[in-house]
C-alpha cells in the first residue's frame, strides 16, 4: 500500500513534469502570455505629434488673423483720425483769417498799433496751416485743387488787407469799392472751405462706417476662432482622454498579468522545492536499488535482466539531471536586480577551470582566454553560463581531437549587435566570444539550439537534457544582454557571442 505522500510524488512525476516542460518551452521567450496590448505606443505618439502640429498650426493661424485684423483696425482708425485732422485744420484756416481781419479792423478804427497783434500772429500761422493741409491731402487730387483755389483767394484777400493797413497808416481814406472787393474774396474763401469740409465730411462718414465694420468683423472673427479653438480643445482632450483610458486599461491588465505571473512563479518555486527534495529521493533509491541488484545478485540475473537494470539506473540518472537543469532554469527565470553586484569574469573563469579540471584533463582540452571585464550581475548565474558554454564545447567535439576553447573580449557599440534594435545603438557592450573546434552546426539552426528541449543530436550520440543553451540565453537576458551563435566559417566548430551592457 502506498502512503498519501508517495501517491503525490508519483502524481507529480507522471502528470506534472511533462506539463512543466511545455510550460518552460512557452515561458522561455520574453512575451507575457495572453496579454492583449490595449495601448499602441506608435499610435499614441502619432496622436500626440498630430495634436501638437494642429495646435501650432491653429496658433499660427489665430495669430495671423488677429494681426491682420488689428492692422486693418489700426488703418481704419488712422483714416478716421486723418479726416478729423483735415477738418480741424480747415476750420483753423478760416479762424486764422478771421483773426487777421479782426486785427485789421481794429487798427483801421483806432489807428493803434497794438490792434495789429492778431494780424501779425495770423500771418505767421496761416502759411504753416496751408502747408499741413496740402501734406494731408496730397493723395487726393480733388481736395488738392480746392486747396490751390483757396490759396489764390487767401493770397488776394491778404493783398487787400495789407493795402488797407498801409492806407490807414498814411491816413488815406479807403473807398467802398475796395472794401467790397476784399469782402468778395472772403466769401469765395468761405465757400471753397465749406465745399472742402463737406467733401472731407463725406470721407469721414465712410471711414467711420468702415471702422465700425472692421470692429464688427473683428468681433465675429474672434468669436469664430474662439469657437474653433474650443472645438479643437474639446477634440484634443477627448483624444487624450481616450488614450489615457486605453493606457490605464493596459496598465491595469498588465498589473493583473504581472500578479498572475508572480503567482505562477510562486507556484513554480514551490514545485521546484518539491522537486529538489521529494522528487529526487525516489530517483536516488531507484538508482541505489538497481545498482545493488547489479552488484549483489549479478549471478542470479540473466543478461537481459542486467541490461534492464543498467537502463533503469541510466534513466534515473537522466531524470535527476533533467530535474537539476529544470531547477537551474527556474532559478534563472526569477530575476532579482537587488542581487546584482560587480562580478570579475576572470575569477569566474578560474573557478570553472577548477570545477571542470577532471573533465579538462580527461578530454585533454585547452582553454585560452584574454583578460575579461568586470560586469554587474549575479555571480552564480555567470558561473552557470561559463560552465554550460565550456561544457558544450568539450561535449560536442570530434573523436580523437582535443577540444580547444578560445575566449576573446572586446567592447562594441550596441549598433553592431544583430537584431538588437535602434534603441541600443548608442550603448556600449562587452562582447565575450567563445570559439571551439567541435562539430559545430548548420547556420539554419543558430536559433533553434537556444530553444528549451530542442536537440540537434540524439541522446545516443551526445548525452544531455536540451536545457543548457536555453539556460544560457535566459541568464544573458536577465542581465539585459544578448547571446548569438554561428558556425565557424571554413572550419569545424561553433562561435558563441555574449553581449553584456557596460
Average pLDDT, rounded, for the chain:
77
Top-confidence residue, 157 or 499:
499
Q: What is the pLDDT at residue 128? A: 87
Is 85 in the same domain as 230? Answer: yes
Top-confidence residue, 120 or 464:
120
The string of DSSP codes covering 182-247 is: HHHHHHHHHHHHHHHHHHHHHHHHHHHHHHHHHHHHHHHHHHHHHHHHHHHHHHHHHHHHHHHHHH
Domain count, the chain: 2
For residue 389, is it within any domain?
yes
Is 355 in the same domain as 230? Answer: no
For residue 97, is it within any domain?
yes
Cell of 148: 490751390
Containing structural domain, residue 452: 337-501
Question: Rounded distance, CA 412 to CA 428, Å?
Answer: 6
For residue 14, is it within any domain?
no
Is 123 in the same domain as 233? Answer: yes
CATH classification of the domain holding 474 = 3.30.565.10
Taking only the tens place, the pLDDT of each residue in 59-110 is 787 778 778 777 777 787 887 888 888 888 888 888 888 888 888 777 777 7
170: phi then psi, degrees, rounded to nearest 5: -100, 10
Which residue carries 508519483 as its cell? 10
For residue 491, is it within any domain?
yes
Q: What is the pLDDT at residue 463? A: 61
Question: Rounded distance, CA 257 to CA 245, Å?
Answer: 18
Strand order in the sheet with 404-413: 366-369, 404-413, 428-436, 494-501, 482-487
Cell of 270: 514551490
For residue 175, is it within any domain?
yes
Q: Which of 192, 221, 242 is a domain's end point?
A: 242
Work out the pLDDT band at 10, boundaries 50, 70, 90.
Answer: very low
For residue 296, is it within any domain?
no
Diameter of the chain measured on Cα atoms: 178
> What's the rounded mean pLDDT across residues 114-142?
83
Is residue 294 within 8 Å of residue 433, measured between CB atoms? no
Q: What is the pLDDT at residue 326? A: 63
Q: Which of 184, 138, 132, 121 is nearest to 157 (CA)?
A: 184
- How buried is 107 (Cβ within 10 angstroms: 0-12 exposed, 13-18 middle, 19+ buried)? buried
Question: Terminus-to-terminus CA distance in the chain, angstroms?
Answer: 59
Work out the pLDDT band at 37, boundaries 50, 70, 90.
Answer: very low
For residue 192, is it within any domain?
yes
Is 206 in the same domain as 345? Answer: no
Q: What global pTM score does this model have?
A: 0.47
> What's the rounded mean pLDDT across residues 385-391?
90
Top-confidence residue, 268 or 488:
488
Top-confidence residue, 89 or 214:
89
CA-to-CA dists, residue 53 to 39, 43, 48, 57, 411, angstroms: 22, 15, 8, 6, 41
Question: Rounded distance, CA 463 to CA 446, Å?
Answer: 20
Buried b (16+ CB within 10 A) or exposed e, 264-303: eeeebeebbeebeeebbeebeebbeebeebbeeeeeeeee
The string of DSSP codes covering 387-401 is: HHHHHHHHHS--TTS
Is 199 in the same domain as 342? Answer: no
CA-to-CA dists, residue 305 to 170, 286, 313, angstroms: 169, 15, 12
Helix (H) or strand (E) holding 431: strand 428-436
For residue 131, pLDDT over 80 is answered with yes
Q: Are strands 366-369 and 404-413 parallel, antiparallel or unpaired?
A: parallel
Q: Which of 196, 223, 242 is a domain's end point?
A: 242
Q: What is the DSSP-derived secondary structure letter of residue 416? A: G
Low-confidence winner among 108-122, 152-166, 327-341 (lowest mean pLDDT): 327-341
For residue 13, pLDDT over 50 is answered with no
> What's the rounded mean pLDDT across residues 103-127?
80
- How buried is 150 (Cβ within 10 angstroms: 0-12 exposed, 13-18 middle, 19+ buried)? buried
Is 220 in the same domain as 344? Answer: no
For residue 213, is it within any domain?
yes
Top-confidence residue, 433 or 235:
433
Is residue 376 within 8 Å of residue 480, measured between CB atoms? no
Work out the pLDDT band at 302, boundaries 50, 70, 90.
Answer: confident
Low-confidence winner among 24-33, 360-369, 379-388 (lowest mean pLDDT): 24-33
Q: Which of 214, 242, 270 is a domain's end point?
A: 242
Q: What is the pLDDT at residue 337? A: 53
Question: Rounded distance, CA 152 to CA 98, Å?
Answer: 17
> What's the rounded mean pLDDT across residues 263-285?
71
Is 373 in the same domain as 236? Answer: no
The string of DSSP codes covering 337-384 is: GGG-EEEEHHHHHHHHHHHTHHHHHHHT-EEEE----EEEE-HHHHHH
Is 343 in the same domain as 218? Answer: no
For residue 5, pLDDT over 70 is answered with no
Work out the pLDDT band at 499, boundaries 50, 70, 90.
Answer: very high
For residue 448, pLDDT over 90 is answered with no
Amino acid at each position: 500500500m502506498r502512503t498519501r505522500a508517495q501517491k503525490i510524488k508519483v502524481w507529480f512525476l507522471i502528470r506534472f513534469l511533462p506539463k512543466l516542460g511545455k510550460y518552460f518551452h512557452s515561458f522561455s521567450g520574453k512575451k507575457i502570455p495572453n496579454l492583449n496590448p490595449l495601448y499602441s505606443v506608435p499610435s499614441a505618439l502619432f496622436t500626440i505629434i498630430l495634436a501638437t502640429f494642429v495646435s501650432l498650426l491653429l496658433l499660427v493661424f489665430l495669430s495671423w488673423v488677429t494681426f491682420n485684423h488689428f492692422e486693418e483696425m489700426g488703418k481704419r482708425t488712422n483714416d478716421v483720425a486723418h479726416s478729423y485732422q483735415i477738418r480741424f485744420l480747415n476750420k483753423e484756416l478760416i479762424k486764422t483769417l478771421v483773426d487777421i481781419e479782426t486785427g485789421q479792423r481794429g487798427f483801421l478804427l483806432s489807428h493803434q498799433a497794438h490792434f495789429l497783434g492778431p494780424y501779425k500772429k495770423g500771418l505767421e500761422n496761416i502759411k504753416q496751416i496751408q502747408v499741413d493741409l496740402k501734406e494731408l491731402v496730397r493723395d487726393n487730387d480733388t481736395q488738392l485743387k480746392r486747396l490751390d483755389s483757396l490759396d489764390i483767394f487767401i493770397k488776394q484777400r491778404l493783398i487787400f488787407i495789407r493795402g488797407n493797413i498801409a492806407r490807414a497808416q498814411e491816413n488815406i481814406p479807403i473807398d467802398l469799392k475796395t472794401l467790397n472787393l476784399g469782402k468778395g474774396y472772403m466769401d469765395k474763401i468761405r465757400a471753397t472751405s465749406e465745399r472742402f469740409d463737406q467733401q472731407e465730411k463725406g470721407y469721414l462718414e465712410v471711414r467711420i462706417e468702415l471702422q465700425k465694420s472692421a470692429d464688427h468683423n473683428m468681433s465675429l472673427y474672434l468669436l469664430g476662432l474662439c469657437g474653433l479653438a474650443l472645438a479643437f480643445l474639446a477634440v484634443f482632450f477627448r483624444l487624450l482622454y481616450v488614450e489615457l483610458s486605453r493606457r490605464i486599461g493596459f496598465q491595469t491588465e498588465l498589473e493583473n498579468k504581472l500578479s498572475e505571473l508572480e503567482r505562477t512563479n510562486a507556484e513554480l518555486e514551490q514545485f521546484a522545492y518539491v522537486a529538489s527534495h521529494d522528487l529526487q529521493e525516489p530517483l536516488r533509491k531507484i538508482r541505489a536499488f538497481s545498482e545493488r541488484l547489479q552488484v549483489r545478485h549479478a549471478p542470479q540475473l540473466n543478461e537481459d535482466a542486467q541490461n534492464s537494470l543498467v537502463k533503469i539506473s541510466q534513466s534515473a540518472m537522466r531524470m535527476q539531471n533533467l530535474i537539476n537543469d529544470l531547477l537551474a532554469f527556474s532559478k534563472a527565470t526569477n530575476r532579482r536586480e537587488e542581487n546584482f553586484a560587480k562580478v570579475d569574469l576572470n575569477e569566474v573563469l578560474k573557478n570553472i577551470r577548477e570545477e571542470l579540471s577532471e573533465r579538462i584533463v580527461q578530454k585533454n582540452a585547452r582553454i585560452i582566454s584574454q583578460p575579461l571585464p568586470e560586469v554587474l550581475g549575479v555571480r552564480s548565474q555567470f558561473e552557470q553560463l561559463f560552465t554550460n558554454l565550456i561544457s558544450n564545447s568539450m561535449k560536442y567535439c570530434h573523436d580523437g581531437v582535443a577540444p580547444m576553447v578560445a575566449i576573446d573580449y572586446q567592447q562594441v557599440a550596441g549598433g553592431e549587435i544583430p537584431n538588437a534594435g535602434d534603441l541600443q545603438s548608442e550603448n556600449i557592450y562587452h562582447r565575450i566570444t567563445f570559439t571551439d573546434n567541435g562539430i559545430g552546426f548548420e547556420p539554419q539552426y543558430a536559433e533553434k539550439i537556444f530553444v528549451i528541449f530542442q536537440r540537434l543530436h540524439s541522446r545516443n550520440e551526445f548525452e544531455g537534457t536540451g536545457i543548457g543553451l536555453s539556460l544560457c540565453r535566459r541568464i544573458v537576458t536577465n542581465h539585459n544582454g544578448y547571446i548569438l551563435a554561428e558556425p565557424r566559417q571554413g572550419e569545424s566548430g561553433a562561435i558563441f557571442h555574449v553581449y553584456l551592457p557596460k
